[in-house]
Structure 1
Amino acid sequence: PSSVQSGTSAVRHGSHDTMSYDLDINSAIIGPTILTKFGKIRWVRKIVKKWGTTQEVNVTEQLDAGVRFLDLRVAHKPDDPDPTRTYFYHGLYTVTDVESALRDINIWAENHSTEILILALSHFKGFNRTVHNHLISFIKGLFGQKLILKTDIPTLNRCWDLQRNVIVSYDADAEVRTHPELRGKIPYYYGDTMDPAKVKKQLSKDLKTAPSNKFFACGLNLTLPENASALKYILRWKSLFVVTLKNLPQLVMWVQRQAQITDLNIVASDFVTQANFISTIIQLNT
C-alpha cells in the first residue's frame, strides 16, 4: 500500500480469536452456556476445543504470515490465586497468559518497526477495576513509545515519523476515557451463522453502513449457534477447521468482489493461513 494511505483506508488482514490455537484441554468450559455444567467430562472439553480452535499457527507465525489485526478476548479466572493474571479464551481458557503473549507481540513489533499492528482487546470476562488497571499499566509499560495515541491520525507516514507502530483498541469505555494510549472498540461485523451464504448476505448489509473514517472489521468466520441446534453441526463435521476449510474459499472470493462495491478496512478470518486468505487481502491494496 501507498505510504500516504491512512490507517482506515488500507485493507488489513486480521485473525478472528487470534489466540485460540492455544486452548487448554484441562480448562473449565466457559461457553457455550449449555456445555458449562459438563466441564468435568474430558470428551466434552475435547469437543469444545475442536470447535473453539479458530487458528492453527501461533501469534508470531500469524504476524509473519501478514496478519496485522489481532482479536484478543481476555478473561480473569475466578479461582486464580494471582489476582491480576489474565488469559485469553474461546470456549476454554488458553495455556498462555496474556502478558506472555503480549511480550511475544512486542518483540515482533520491535523487529518490524514499519508494520502497523492493531491489538483489539475485548470481553474482559471476570475483570474488576484492579485487573483492568494492572493490564493497562502492563500494556503501557511494555509497548511504551510504540503506542499510537488516539489523538494521532494513523497515516503510515505519520506513524513512521513518530516511530510508533502499535494501536491498542480496548473495549471498555471507562478505561478508554482516562488513557490516551487506548482507542475505543473497533466494530466487528460477522454473520453469526454457520451458513456461508447468510454470512455473505449479512456482511453485505452491514458494510453499506460501516463508517468510512474509523476502523471496522469484517469477519468471515462461521459461528455455531449458542443453543442445542449446534449439535447438528458438531455431529456432522469433525471440527471447525474441517467446515471452515470447505467454505473459506468462497468467502475469500466474495471479499474480492465486495471490495469493488464497498470500502473494506480490516478483514478477519479463521485459519488465516488457509485458502489464500492473506495473499488475497494483500492484492486488494495494489
Structure 2
Amino acid sequence: MKLLTVVLALFSWSTIVYCVSTGRFCDSESGDDFQRAHIGLIISPIMSIKMIREIEIYWNHAKYRPGDTIALYTSEPANGLEPIYTLVPNAPSGIKRTGLQATFVPTSNLTFVRQCLQYHVAWLRNGTIRLTNCLQTQPHWMTERKEILGSLPMSRVFLPGTHDSASYAIHRRANLENFVERFVITQDVDVLAQLIYGVRYLDIRVGHYPNTDSVWWANHGVYRSVPMQNVVNQVKTFLDNTNEVVIFDIQEFPVGFGKNLGVHHDFIGFLEEQFAGYYLPKSYHGWTSTLNAIWSSGKRLIIGYDEKRVVSRYESVWPCVTHQWGNVRTIEDLFNYLNRIETESLGYPRSIPRSAMAELTPNTWDVILNRLGGIRQMAETVNFNVTNWYNSKWQHTANIVAVDFVRSSGIIETAIEWNERRNSRC
C-alpha cells in the first residue's frame, strides 16, 4: 500500500484539447480544470461464490473539490437521472469497488462498431455533470487514428496486449475456481472479445497433441486450454470485420515440440494454411514497416515466432516480440523492474517491438501455499497500478504492455489516449 500511495500522489493527467487547425488533439494548460481529469470503469477479475464481474470505478482529478461526486449509471448520464451508485472522491486518485455485478455480455453480442456496454460513469459538481465515460469497446481505434499513427513502425506505437491470451475461461455466473484454474486462467473473455475491446497484441503458447482431433492447442504451460483452430477463427473474424493490425506472437512451445524441428515445420504449415491471405510476409520491410505500409499491403496480421532456427526459413513468420519479464512477486519489485526497462528504452531504440509483461510471477511455494491468491488476485493487485504508472511515468516510452485479465485494467484506454498525445502536434 505504501508504494500505491506514492504512485497515486505522483499520478497526474495532462490537458487534452482539440486543435482545429490540424484536426488533432494536443496538450494545453489552459481551460477548464476538468480537461485534466479522468474517470473510468473496469471489471474486477475477482470471482467468488457470490460475486463475479464486480464494477470498479477509478478516477484522477488533481483539482477535485469537497462535495464533488462520481456516479454510476445504466444508461447515458443526464442531469436528473438517478444513478445506481455514487461515491465521494476523498483523494486526487483512487479506485473503488461498487459491490455491483456487471451484466454478462457474450462475445456474440459484441459488434464491430464502437459501443458503450450499458454502464456509464459521470463526475458531478454542484449537481451538474462535468465529465463522463463508459464501459466500451474499441474495435477500430488504430484505423480511427491512421493519420497520427500511420508513419510509425510497431516498435513506436503504444499497443495494449494480453498475457497468455488464449488461456481464458468464460463464466456467466459466480463460481469458485479449482486449484489448477487459479494459476492458469489469465483472461475472462475469449480472443475475439479481447480484440474488440481494443487489444492488438496476442501472446500465444502452443501445445502439440498428435493423438487428439485438434492436434494443435493453446496452452498455458502444460495446461491445455482451447484448440488452436478456435483461436485462429476468432482472429480471422476480427480481421474480416475491421482494418486493424494484429500481432499474433507465438512465444512458447511447452508440450509436444521438444527439439524436433519437424513439429515446428508442421505447425508453420498449419498457420500458413489457416492464415493464407491474412499474414504479412516478413520480406515486406519486416519490423521496420510503418503502419501505412502495412495497411497498403492489404495484409494486417503479423505472426511472430519464438524459434530462430525456423524463422529464417519462412516468409510467413517474423522474429518474435521481445518479452521483458521481471519474474517478480511483489508490486514494489514489479514497479522497479518496469521502471528500469522503460528508462533503458530511452537510450536503446529497438526495431523489434518489446512487450512489458506487467504481471507478478509466483514461485512454486507461492502456488502450493496460495500465498499470492492466484492470478485473479494478482491481477487485481497489479492492474490499477500498471494503468497509473503508464499514464504518469512511462507514457512516452511504452511500446507493448501485456496484462492478465485485461478488462480489470485501463491499459487499452491509456494506450489510445497516449498514442494521440505523444504523436499529435498543433
Structure number with the higher strand fraction is: 2
Please identify, of 133-142 and 174-183, the stretch whose mean Cα deviation from structure 2 is larger: 133-142
Q: For residues 89-145 of structure 1, what are the alpha-carbon distances to aligned partners after superposition, in whole Å with 9 as ceiling and x for unaligned?
A: 224533421123112211211221x21100110221321333222221121122223
Match of 2:267, SS state, is helix
Tell me the distance in 1 between the aligned counterparts of 2:319 and 2:179: 34
Query: Which residue of structure 1 lines up, in the alignment, with residue 403 of structure 2?
Result: 269
**Residue 97 of structure 1: which of 227, 235, 257 is its match?**
227
Match of 1:60, SS state, is helix
Q: Does 1:282 align with 2:420?
A: no
Normalised by the length of structure 1, the TM-score is 0.83
Tell me the distance in 2 between the aligned counterparts of 1:146 and 1:99: 15
Please identify, of 127-136 and 196-205, the stretch whose mean Cα deviation from structure 2 is larger: 127-136
**Residue 218 of structure 1: which of 352, 356, 360 is its match?**
356
Tell me the distance in 2 between the aligned counterparts of 1:249 and 1:70: 21
Gapped regions of structure 1 (runs ≥ 5): 24-42
Larger Rg: 2
Q: For residues 67-89 of structure 1, what are the alpha-carbon distances to aligned partners after superposition, in whole Å with 9 as ceiling and x for unaligned?
A: 01000011124xx4249812122
Tell me the CA shift for residue 198 of structure 1.
0.5
Please identify, of 155-164 and 138-147, the stretch whose mean Cα deviation from structure 2 is larger: 138-147
Tell me the distance in 1 between the aligned counterparts of 2:322 and 2:376: 25
Aligned pairs (5 A) from 1:2-41: 2=148, 3-22=150-169
Looking at both structures, which has the greater relative contact order when contacts are Cα pairs under 8 Å and sequence separation is at least 6? 1
**Residue 305 of structure 2: which of 146, 170, 179 is its match?**
170
Tell me the distance in 2 between the aligned counterparts of 1:284 and 1:71: 22
Q: Does 1:241 align with 2:376?
A: yes
**Residue 189 of structure 1: which of 289, 311, 324 is its match?**
324
Tell me the CA shift for residue 229 of structure 1.
4.2
One-letter amino acid matched to 1:102: V
Q: Does 1:122 align with 2:257?
A: no
One-letter amino acid matched to 2:270: F
Match of 2:407, SS state, is coil
Q: Does 1:66 align with 2:204?
A: no
When the two chains are superposed, the root-mean-square deviation of aligned CA atoms in Å is 2.3
Tell me the distance in 1 between the aligned counterparts of 2:284 and 2:293: 8
One-letter amino acid matched to 2:223: Y
**Residue 365 of structure 2: which of 228, 235, 239 is its match?**
228
Match of 1:178, SS state, is coil
**Residue 107 of structure 1: which of 220, 233, 237 is its match?**
237
Q: Is the 8 A contact 2:214 2:227 kept in 1?
A: no
State the 4+ residue runs in structure 1 displaced beyond 6 angstroms.
Answer: none
**Residue 87 of structure 1: which of 184, 206, 217 is its match?**
217
Q: Is the 8 A contact 2:166 2:225 kept in 1?
A: no
One-letter amino acid matched to 1:101: V
Count matched residues: 259
Tell me the distance in 2 between the aligned counterparts of 1:132 and 1:22: 27
Match of 2:282, SS state, is coil
Q: For residues 161-192 of structure 1, what are the alpha-carbon distances to aligned partners after superposition, in whole Å with 9 as ceiling and x for unaligned?
A: 11110000000111101001211121111221
Aligned pairs (5 A) from 1:118-157: 118-125=247-254, 126-127=256-257, 128-153=260-285, 154-157=289-292
One-letter amino acid matched to 1:276: G
Match of 2:178, SS state, is helix
Structure number with the higher helix fraction is: 1
Tell me the distance in 1 between the aligned counterparts of 2:204 and 2:246: 13
> Cα gap change, 1:172/1:55 in structure 2, threshold over 3 Å: closer, same or farther?
same
Tell me the distance in 2 between the aligned counterparts of 1:10 and 1:73: 24
Q: Is the 8 A contact 2:200 2:247 kept in 1?
A: yes
Tell me the distance in 2 between the aligned counterparts of 1:132 and 1:230: 31
Normalised by the length of structure 2, the TM-score is 0.57
Q: Does 1:253 align with 2:400?
A: no
Query: Which residue of structure 1 lines up, in the alignment, with residue 294 of structure 2?
Result: 159
Query: Which residue of structure 2 lines up, in the alignment, with residue 31 of structure 1?
Result: none
Q: Is the 8 A contact 2:192 2:237 kept in 1?
A: no
One-letter amino acid matched to 1:120: D
One-letter amino acid matched to 2:246: L
Q: Is the 8 A contact 1:169 1:184 kept in 2?
A: yes
Tell me the distance in 2 between the aligned counterparts of 1:73 and 1:184: 15
